[in-house]
């Protein structure tokens, strides 16, 4: 369809060298295209197509239609429009004419149309209304009579049988927020006797239409307003285009801001959360870790882990998730991780470590405010563990976090532990350390909830998938197990970070 239309589309006029007349025609067409493009809120090629359609409907050349649109003075053939669209020619003026220096509307300056000119003038006026999406009205201030063009009834969504409303009732169509502009329009016309040009929103049927209102008074011999000429132009397409452009600009700015925040959060994570390549050797353990930021630009933030040798006889292991997302959550993660690692050096049991961390969250420093927001406290989930490689004993506790998973031979299970609420939620949460004895070759998997929780599946299904994936890699090293788990469960979570720590007993 588009090919057929393009094939039938006339060539745009081009000015031959040294031909001033042709150059003027080209300039008029370009000006008309620009005006239509602005009104429609579309590109100039679409505007030119619209100009061609209007010219074909009116039975005239595009150059002539363009001249009428921009107010040039072409010698154009035309068709007589619907008599309701234009005023009937008058042989004599309806009201006394103003003095030459007085301002007035078209009736005050235009000579009476001759019988032979009426058809062409009517056609030209009708075409101007269609091209410019215009409607005109005239209110006689002496008799109270009003006349509207057919297009004006359409712009106001008014039945032609009802006739034009009185001038004082015109404001009934105006949206209340724009009534001050309508009052200013009338003061300018009736009190100051000056032309006016404003934009108003009016109710047109069940919709709201943006109209540009261009008006001027017709003055009598005494310099007082005898009538008002008002032209209304539908500016809705342009306003919609401006609104869409403003919306696109706001969205682009928001995307840039989110992208910058995500980049900052990821950089904080990389700077403060070491992610070694390949397995890492610890006393009695071989460890591997992965951290995957959320796919969503707004969800990067607070997952962390810790795997540190406190001595030859002890390893500290931990994993957790701070509430919130973005740079503030990443910064809070760094403080929580650092605090827990420092507390681990005191030799306290894991449940005592988490209790101390809970007190810190309930009594935050001013630095925690950006992560908490004004009314939302900072909370965190965590698992903390101490491993003694000699007796192969793991002592661990958890608070508001999924329990570790144990892979022993071909069997995989979640370790049992008392339920623990999120840190920062209660003054004195019930926390308890649990002892788990390990065997050579056992593999422990610590992970954050982003691994098993997804918007499109139940969390119980996530745990079943995790257990099944781990069982499929018996005897594999920590790196291989993590990679297989991430592939099986869908890698990066669109809505949350994912951190996985695997340690294997050697």
The H-or-E segment that residue 22 falls in is: helix 20-40
Predicted TM-score (pTM) of the model is 0.51
At 286-317, the pLDDT tens digits run 999 998 877 655 455 688 999 999 999 999 99
SS (H, E, C) 413-428: EECCCCCCCCECCCCC
Rounded-to-integer distance, Cα 89 and Cα 31, Å: 30
- Structure confidence at residue 15 (pLDDT): 56
- Structure confidence at residue 29 (pLDDT): 82
| Closest among 95, 192, 93 to 143, alpha carbons compared | 95
Residue 56 has pLDDT above 70, yes or no: no
Phi, psi of 412 (to 5 degrees): -130, 135
* For range 66-76, the mean pLDDT: 59
- Given strand 225-234, what is the order of strands in its sheet? 146-148, 134-140, 225-234, 207-219, 196-204
* For range 468-476, the mean pLDDT: 94
- Structure confidence at residue 84 (pLDDT): 42
Phi, psi of 327 (to 5 degrees): -55, -40
10 Å Cβ neighbour count for 396? 24
At 367-377, the pLDDT tens digits run 554 444 444 57
Rounded-to-integer distance, Cα 351 and Cα 302, Å: 21
Say how many Å lie between the first and final Cα of the chain, rounded: 72
Phi, psi of 320 (to 5 degrees): -165, 175
**Residue 413 corresponds to which tokens in the numbers above?**
């299970």
- Structure confidence at residue 274 (pLDDT): 66
Domains defined along the chain, listed by start: 1-14+21-85+116-132 (no CATH), 133-234 (3.30.450.20), 278-505 (3.60.40.10)
At 164-221, the pLDDT tens digits run 988 888 888 898 999 999 999 999 999 999 999 988 888 887 788 888 888 999 998 8
* The most confident of 110-124, 161-175, 214-228, 468-482, by mean pLDDT: 468-482
How deeply is 366 buried, as exposed, middle or buried, from its count of CB atoms within 10 A (0-12, 13-18, 19+)? exposed
| Closest among 427, 432, 268 to 361, alpha carbons compared | 427
10 Å Cβ neighbour count for 334? 18
Rounded-to-integer distance, Cα 38 and Cα 177, Å: 25
- Please state the separation of Cα 399 from the chain's center in Å: 38
């Amino acid at each position: 369809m588009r090919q057929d239309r393009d094939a039938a589309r006339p060539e745009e006029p081009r000015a031959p060298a040294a031909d001033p007349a042709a150059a003027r025609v080209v300039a008029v067409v370009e000006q008309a295209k620009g005006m239509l493009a602005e009104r429609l809120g579309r590109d100039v090629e679409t505007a030119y197509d619209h100009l061609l359609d209007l010219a074909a409907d009116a039975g005239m050349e595009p150059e002539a239609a363009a001249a009428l649109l921009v107010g040039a003075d072409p010698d154009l053939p035309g068709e007589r429009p619907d008599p309701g669209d234009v005023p009937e020619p008058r042989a004599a003026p309806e009201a006394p004419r103003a003095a030459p220096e007085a301002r007035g509307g078209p009736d005050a300056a235009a000579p009476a149309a001759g019988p032979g000119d009426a058809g062409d003038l009517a056609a030209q006026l009708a075409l101007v209304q269609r091209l410019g999406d215009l409607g005109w009205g005239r209110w006689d201030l002496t008799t109270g009579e009003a006349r509207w063009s057919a297009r004006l009834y359409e712009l106001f969504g008014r039945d032609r049988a009802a006739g034009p409303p009185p001038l004082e009732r015109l404001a009934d169509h105006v949206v209340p927020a724009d009534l001050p502009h309508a009052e200013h329009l009338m003061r300018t016309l009736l009190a100051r006797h000056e032309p006016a040009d404003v934009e108003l929103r009016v109710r047109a049927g069940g919709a709201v239409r943006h109209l540009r209102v261009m008006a001027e008074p017709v003055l009598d011999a005494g310099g007082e307003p005898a009538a008002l000429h008002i032209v209304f132009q539908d500016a809705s397409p342009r306003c919609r285009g401006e609104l869409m452009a403003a919306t696109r600009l706001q969205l682009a700015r928001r995307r840039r801001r989110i992208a910058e925040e995500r980049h900052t959060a990821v950089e904080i994570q990389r700077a403060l959360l070491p992610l070694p390549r390949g397995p890492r050797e610890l006393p009695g353990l071989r460890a591997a870790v992965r951290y995957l930021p959320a796919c969503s630009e707004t969800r990067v933030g607070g997952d962390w882990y810790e795997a540190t040798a406190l001595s030859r006889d002890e390893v500290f292991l931990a994993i957790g998730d701070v509430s919130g997302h973005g740079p503030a959550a990443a910064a809070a993660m760094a403080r929580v991780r650092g605090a827990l690692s420092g507390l681990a050096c005191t030799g306290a049991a894991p449940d005592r470590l988490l209790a101390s961390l809970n007190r810190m969250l309930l009594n935050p420093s001013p630095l925690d405010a950006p992560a908490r927001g004004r009314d939302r406290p900072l909370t965190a989930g965590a698992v903390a563990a101490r491993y003694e490689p000699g007796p192969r004993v793991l002592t661990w506790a958890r608070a508001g976090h999924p329990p570790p998973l144990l892979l022993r031979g071909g069997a995989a299970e979640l370790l049992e532990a008392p339920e623990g609420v999120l840190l920062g939620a209660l003054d004195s949460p019930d926390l308890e350390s649990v002892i788990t004895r390990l065997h050579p070759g056992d593999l422990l998997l610590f992970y954050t909830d982003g691994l098993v929780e997804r918007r499109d599946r139940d969390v119980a299904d996530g745990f079943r998938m995790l257990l099944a994936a781990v069982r499929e890699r018996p005897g594999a090293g920590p790196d291989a197990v993590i990679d297989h788990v991430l592939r099986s469960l869908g890698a990066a979570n669109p809505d949350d970070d994912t951190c996985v720590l695997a340690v294997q007993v050697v």
